[in-house]
Amino acid sequence: MPGSRDAVIDLLGALSYAQLSGFEALAAHAQMTPHLTAKMAFARMAVQMFSRCEQVALRLEGFGVPYADAMAPFVTAIDNFHTRTAPSDWLEGILKAYVGDGIVRDFYTEMAGRLDPDNRDFIVGLLGRVGEPDYILHTLHEAIAADQRVAGRLALWARRIMGETLQQTQSVAAERDSLVALLIGGEAGSGITETGVMLGRLTDAHTARMHRLGLSA
Amino acid sequence: MPGSRDAVIDLLGALSYAQLSGFEALAAHAQMTPHLTAKMAFARMAVQMFSRCEQVALRLEGFGVPYADAMAPFVTAIDNFHTRTAPSDWLEGILKAYVGDGIVRDFYTEMAGRLDPDNRDFIVGLLGRVGEPDYILHTLHEAIAADQRVAGRLALWARRIMGETLQQTQSVAAERDSLVALLIGGEAGSGITETGVMLGRLTDAHTARMHRLGLSA
């Protein structure tokens, strides 16, 4: 049972604003670091996020829905997320980008799996195109190797981002009946169980990402 | 007498950092406005600036110069400019983008005219590709029409940006002997006079831009 048209519009609206605010956050991280190579890396990631946002906005317009209308219901929840996860330095900013974007991509990919093939393929393609950002891994590895206390601080920070991101994605879904239906209506009758299984998959993927960084999840 | 290799590297270094910090400033403006259409417009301008930055960085690397080395001498002067011209709302942010980018483009285009044809064409092409940003003009026209006090405030603000930008471009040039030579050595012997004429052209172009906005310069 693929999601309704409302669910498609809502999911695209939430996704596009998540990417737009991700663009803003990454650009703000660029401003937090004096290192020119890091600035450039943040800016490149920000541009990539905005490109996703533009592609979703175009698709919404193609459906006859102004992108601003589709984004609007999700602004508060997503802005609150960024307020609660403002990094205190650019290293926390990098980790937030890595952890947060990873979970957000997994979440929307999961939700897209409940849509019709055309919309599913669009979202999966959009979010899948980005490779593992070498610069992030390299920089975090270096910082952690240089100072073991940094590893402890960043592991705590990643846990906080993980919790806040899961809460954000759920509160985004809770904004709209269509998304609640999409979230808990995955398999006929399976409802809450299915959601629990999905959260488990998101957590597993997060744990794997943490291990690639050499951090405990 | 085209500029020396040092002048080319320095000009590209200054230009690339000006565009990188312009990207950061525009993204920060996006964050200042709650209007989704304005956010998207700022983000698009920011991406355009960063694309210029990337093109210059690539060219520097092609010359065997790491972009961070070429940018570094100009970071303080350009950062100071942004500190002194932090807008108090997004309308001031839009106007700063319009006025500041206009002057910066005119300045680098003038300086590029003193380089060899290959480097000149690169810079002129890079900065010329952007059209008059309709969104900026439309938004400012609307805001000014709606409230005459806004027109007064924005006219003052534009004058301040104009002054600060001229000072910034000159202090960027003053950082490096190669650029001072490029600036005052335009025509053999004409020196300071030539610089005065150039500043006159920058001011005239600024005045024309202000008129297009319906603001006094």
CA distance A26 to chain B (A): 9
Q: Enumerate the residues of chain A whose CB falls inside 8 A of the CB of residue B53.
A: 40, 43
CA distance A49 to chain B (A): 11
**Averaged pLDDT, B166-193:** 78
> According to the model, what pLDDT value does residue A190 have?
59
> According to the model, what pLDDT value does residue A9 have?
97
> According to the model, what pLDDT value does residue B67 have?
97
Establish, for the pair of chains A and B, how many residue pairs have beta carbons separated by less than 8 Å: 72
The C-alpha atoms of residue B24 and residue A31 are separated, in whole angstroms, by: 6
ipTM value:
0.88
Return the minimum-mean-pLDDT range out of A113-117, B37-41, B46-50, B133-137: B133-137
Q: Does residue A1 register a pLDDT over 80?
A: no
- Phi and psi (nearest 5°) for B65? -115, 120
Do residue A20 and residue B28 have CB atoms under 8 angstroms apart? no
Return the minimum-mean-pLDDT range out of B43-57, B80-94, B158-172, B181-195: B181-195
Exposure of A65 in the CB half-sphere (CA atoms within 13 A): 20
> According to the model, what pLDDT value does residue B148 have?
84
> According to the model, what pLDDT value does residue A73 have?
95
Tokens read off for A119 = 């919309």
Residue A87 to residues A98, A213, B43, B62, B125, Cα–Cα distance (Å): 13, 18, 21, 35, 38
CA angle at B73 for the pair B179 and B159, rounded to the nearest 5°: 70
Q: How many CB atoms lie within 10 A of CB A196?
A: 10
Q: Does residue A3 register a pLDDT over 80?
A: no
Q: Enumerate the residues of chain B whose CB falls inside 8 A of the CB of residue A58.
A: none
Q: Which of A36, A46, A57 sits opposite B27 (nearest CB)?
A: A46
Do residue A40 and residue B27 have CB atoms under 8 angstroms apart? no
Do residue B31 and residue A43 have CB atoms under 8 angstroms apart? no
Where is pLDDT greater, at A57 or A186?
A57
> According to the model, what pLDDT value does residue A191 have?
64
Do residue B28 and residue A30 have CB atoms under 8 angstroms apart? no
- What's the pLDDT tens digit per position in A126-178? 998 665 577 888 888 888 888 888 889 999 999 999 999 988 888 888 888 89
Q: Does residue A51 register a pLDDT over 60?
A: yes
Nearest CA in chain A to B82: A31
The chain-wide mean pLDDT, for chain A, equals: 89
Under an 8 Å CB criterion, which residues of A touch B?
Answer: 17, 20, 23-24, 27-28, 30-31, 34, 36-37, 39-40, 43-44, 46-47, 50-51, 53-54, 57, 67-68, 71-72, 75
> According to the model, what pLDDT value does residue B131 have?
53
* pLDDT band at A189; cut points 50, 70, 90: low
- What's the pLDDT tens digit per position in B119-169? 999 999 999 866 557 788 888 888 888 888 888 999 999 999 999 998 888
Q: Which of A31, A47, A71 sits opposite B50 (nearest CB)?
A: A47
Q: Which of A36, A43, A44 sits opposite B68 (nearest CB)?
A: A36
**Averaged pLDDT, A94-108:** 91
Q: Does residue A109 register a pLDDT over 80?
A: yes
Q: Does residue A217 register a pLDDT over 80?
A: no
CA distance A137 to chain B (A): 21
**What is the percent of chain A where pLDDT is above 90?**
59
**What is the percent of chain A where pLDDT is above 70?**
94
Do residue B20 and residue A28 have CB atoms under 8 angstroms apart? no
Q: pTM of the predicted model, to two decimals? A: 0.90
Q: Enumerate the residues of chain B whose CB falls inside 8 A of the CB of residue A57.
A: 40
